[in-house]
Amino acid sequence: QVTTTVEPSLQVAPYACQRRTPLDHPHSALVMALETLAEAALFEGEEARGLAFTRAASVLRCLPRALRGTHELSGLPGIGAHSHRVLQEVLEDGVCVEVETVKQSERYQTMKLFTQIFGVGVRTADRWYREGLRSLGDLRSHGTRLTREQQAGVQYFEDLAVPVGQAEAESLVCLVLDATAHLLPNASVTLAGGFRRGKPCGHDVDLLLSHPEEGREVGLLGSLVAWLGEQDLLLYQHSSYSTAAEASSSCRALDRFDRCFTILRLVLPTAGTRVRAWRAVRLDLVVVPHSQLPFALLGWTGSRHFERELRRFARHEREMVLNSHGLYDMRQGTFLLASSEEEIFQHLGLDYIPPTLRNA
């Protein structure tokens, strides 16, 4: 067996939450190839295969310098045989035939289109595909039964397909800050999601609302949604409210916060002579009790893969359960409190990774 020494800059820790992953990296072609295959696998319901490609792509995202050739792949963790083949082909030929074939397939293109519709997941998209539907026009002309959410998704499809920019995100933060200042003085509004990681645009805006006095945030979501409605800014909304029992139940449960998925009418700054001075954007509002805010912030900042890896690390390396509400130590049988994200990383025995380096 040949032993190779891996240079320090290409030494990669096994979990994405142990790595610093900036937004920009020198492997966009390689990452795009793997992420296309990950997406295509998820479209076929093959979660494990999708995850394998996502893991490999995430490793490339954190490398500080461009790979000099296929030989440098061997020291990296999480690159399976299939990913290795794909990477080798892109490194040597510039493109991978399998990826190009997938991208051009009717199946991939249609699934991508349908799952891009707000309210449409892989199962629904797959059913429509098997029914022979291929376009938004088909959905409309075949009188396909749509949920209220999907109807809104189709109605505002063109607007929602345009990414939300940083300036738009900031104007939404200001709008919600203005509203909460009236409804609940001293309430906090925190931008989470991709924008907190430094992304210049995103598919939606994720806002966390809280109040320094725990308990004062109760009822805020309802009044905020009502206010947005009165201002004629709500094009669609779906709220879900946690019950006290749910909020304190199983630590394995998904988010139990009061939250609201909306499509908002974003008024554009310069109306000029244009007739239409607004566009539809997706805004998610999440109301968080103060003591859970660091956990919610960590959980809602992402990336999705970073979050998945944090939870996997907590469980397998620390016997802890992490979610957006708290951190539970299974050995001690206790919840660990934290007043900042830094403290959560400390509890987990991880070096702190700032939001802009969580683009795993």
Residues that bind Mg ion (CB under 5 A): 193-194, 202, 204, 206
Residue 294 site contact among Mg ion, ligand DCP, none (CB < 5 to 8 Å, cut-off depends on kind): none
Contact window for ligand DCP (CB under 6 A) among 222-230, 240-248, 303-311, 335-343: 303-311
Shortest CA distance to 260 belongs to which of 212, 209, 296, 311?
209
Residue 50 site contact among ligand DCP, Mg ion, none (CB < 5 to 8 Å, cut-off depends on kind): none
Six-digit token string for 301: 């900042």
How far is residue 214's CA from residue 217's CA, in Å, rounded to a whole number? 7
Of the candidate residues 303, 310, 313, 350, the single one contacting ligand DCP (CB under 6 A)? 303
Give the count of beta carbons closer than 10 Å to the beta carbon of residue 128. 21
Shortest CA distance to 77 belongs to which of 99, 52, 42, 40?
52
CB-nearest residue to ligand DCP: 302
Please indicate whether residue 24 is annotated as part of the active site: no
Q: Are 319 and 328 in contact (CB under 8 A)?
A: no
Residue 199 site contact among Mg ion, ligand DCP, none (CB < 5 to 8 Å, cut-off depends on kind): ligand DCP
Tell me the chain's radius of gyration from C-alpha atoms.
Answer: 22
Please indicate whether residue 206 is annotated as part of the active site: yes
- Note the maximum CA span of the chain: 72
- Across 141-219, the runs of DSSP E, i.e. the strands, are 164-165, 188-191, 201-202, 205-210
Q: 58 or 303: whose CB is closer to ligand DCP?
A: 303
Q: By CB under 6 A, is residue 206 in contact with ligand DCP?
A: yes
How far is residue 306's CA from residue 101's CA, in Å, rounded to a whole number? 29
Residue 326 site contact among Mg ion, ligand DCP, none (CB < 5 to 8 Å, cut-off depends on kind): none
- Minimum distance, C-beta of residue 322 to ligand DCP, in the bound complex (Å): 11
Which positions from 185 through 204 interact with ligand DCP, judged by CB under 6 A?
193-194, 199, 202-204
Count the residues of the shown chain that bind ligand DCP, applying the rule CB under 6 A. 12
Contact window for ligand DCP (CB under 6 A) among 81-89, 112-120, 222-230, 297-305: 297-305
- Across 143-242, the runs of DSSP E, i.e. the strands, are 164-165, 188-191, 201-202, 205-210, 234-240
Set 138, 159, 255, 284: catalytic member: 284
How far is residue 192's CA from residue 204's CA, in Å, rounded to a whole number? 10
Of the candidate residues 153, 302, 326, 355, the single one contacting ligand DCP (CB under 6 A)? 302
Contact window for ligand DCP (CB under 6 A) among 48-56, 131-139, 177-185, 302-310: 302-310
Q: By CB under 6 A, is residue 261 in contact with ligand DCP?
A: no
Q: By CB under 6 A, is residue 341 in contact with ligand DCP?
A: no
Please indicate whether residue 126 is annotated as part of the active site: no
How far is residue 128's CA from residue 123's CA, in Å, rounded to a whole number? 9
Strand, helix or coil at 40? helix
Shortest CA distance to 208 belongs to which of 193, 225, 228, 198?
193
Which residues contact ligand DCP (rule: CB under 6 A)? 193-194, 199, 202-204, 206, 300, 302-304, 307
Residues with a catalytic annotation lie at 204, 206, 284
